[in-house]
């Protein structure tokens, strides 16, 4: 799926504004430019950045309530999905918190936030920080049982957990629920027929 096709989907299916699309273009260019110096995304996915990274991240807007106060993105890397969702967000009171242990990636994230005037905060390793958001999202972070452990042990209040996963999503759920089960839904991904989005409620 090429850039124009993805942009049409973002506008017509996910309600991204023209202004947001322009910011996404700048963001994509910044990622690709920095990727020449440091491995933010796999080199093999550079040509598919709009499909593999931007659309994959953007599809979460269908499940997010932007009227809560904040959202935490665990292991955000180059800002996927957190910065894509912040670019979409129209609520100035909604705050995006990006957790990333790599100092190089944190520096990149801060430069993007400044350049695009985004309402996001960059924090360090999740295990060394406070997580107090109503929504926790992650993509390519850890296996599901480890994500649940982090969200139960470190997150300070009940929250919705939204995880972008590949074709092993159901198997990971089964392995993670051996000791305790949580309410969840599996949604199909817009970018890969075998991939899933896990939506889970974690009550403290």
Classify residue 42 as exposed, middle or buried by CB count within 10 Å of its CB (0-12, 13-18, 19+).
exposed
Q: Where in the sequence is the domain holding 137, given as residue range(s)?
A: 3-202
CA 98/CA 72 separation, integer angstroms: 6
| Chain segment 42-58, per-residue pLDDT in tens | 999 999 999 999 999 99
pLDDT tens, position by position, 81-95: 999 999 999 999 999
Greatest alpha-carbon span in the chain: 47
Q: Report the relative pairing of strands 120-123 and 95-99 from DSSP bridges.
A: parallel
Element at 162 (helix H, strand E): strand 159-165
Least confident window among 148-157, 162-171, 189-198 = 148-157
* Residue 52: CATH number of its domain: 3.40.50.150
Burial 167-200 (b: 16+ CB within 10 A, else e): eebeebbeebeeeeebebeebebbbeeebbbbbb
pLDDT at 151 over 90: no
Beta bridge partner(s), residue 155: 131
* Integer Cα distance of 16 and 56 in angstroms: 14
pLDDT one-digit tens code per residue, 92-140: 999 999 999 999 999 999 999 999 999 999 999 998 999 999 999 999 7
Q: What is the pTM of this model?
A: 0.95
**Residue bearing tokens 């989907």:** 9
Strand locations in 29-158 (E): 70-74, 95-99, 120-123, 135-139
DSSP assignment of 35-50 = TTTS-SS-GGGGGGII
What's the domain count of the chain? Answer: 1
The interaxial angle of helices 169-176 and 144-153, nearest 10 deg, is: 50
């Amino acid at each position: 799926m090429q850039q124009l096709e993805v942009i049409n989907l973002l506008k017509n299916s996910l309600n991204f504004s023209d202004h947001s699309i322009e910011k996404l273009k700048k963001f994509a260019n910044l990622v690709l430019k920095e990727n020449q110096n440091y491995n933010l995304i796999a080199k093999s996915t550079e040509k598919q950045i709009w499909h593999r990274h931007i659309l994959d991240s953007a599809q979460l807007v269908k499940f997010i309530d932007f009227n809560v106060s904040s959202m935490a993105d665990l292991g955000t890397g180059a800002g996927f999905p957190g910065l894509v969702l912040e670019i979409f967000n129209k609520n100035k009171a909604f705050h995006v918190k990006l957790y990333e242990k790599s100092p190089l990636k944190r520096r990149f994230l801060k430069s993007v936030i400044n350049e695009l005037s985004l309402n996001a905060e960059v924090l360090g390793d999740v295990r060394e920080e406070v997580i107090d958001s109503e929504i926790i999202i992650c993509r390519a972070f850890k296996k599901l049982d480890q994500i649940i452990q982090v969200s139960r042990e470190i997150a300070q209040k009940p929250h919705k957990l939204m995880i972008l996963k590949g074709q092993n999503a159901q198997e990971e759920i089964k392995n993670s629920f051996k000791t305790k089960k949580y309410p969840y839904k599996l949604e199909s991904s817009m970018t890969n027929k075998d991939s899933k989005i896990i939506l889970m409620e974690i009550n403290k």
